Amino acid sequence: MIKVINARYLGDFKVALNFSDGMEGTFDGRVLLERSGSLLEPLRSESYFQRLFIDAGALCWPNGLELSPARLYETCRTLVTA
């Protein structure tokens, strides 16, 4: 099972991610923010977006939003190999 083991905010809603298998990638949060939803609204503020943390291998925010490590892995892998 893939997990996010490190996340570092890069600026402009981008996050550098390190995964448990050694893969590294960048998650572009602007793509996520193209969607609508009550959990996404606070993330539109860059200062709130920066409050990200890792919990049980998932990328999370204080409002309860969690992004699946498997989905993040696939997104980052696609960007790396494209």
Q: How confident is the model at residue 76 (pLDDT cuts 50, 70, 90)?
A: confident
What's the pLDDT at 80?
A: 59
pLDDT in tens, 4-52: 999 999 999 999 999 999 999 999 999 999 999 999 999 999 999 999 9
**CATH class, range 4-81:** alpha beta
Q: Is-above-0.85 flag for pTM?
A: yes
Q: CA neighbours within 13 Å on the CB side: how many for 48?
A: 13
- Enumerate the domain spans of the chain: 4-81
- Give one DSSP letter per residue of the chain, joined into a string: ---EEEEEEEETTEEEEEETTS-EEEEEHHHHTTS--TTTGGGGSHHHHTT-EEETTEEE-TTS-EE-HHHHHHHHHHHHH-
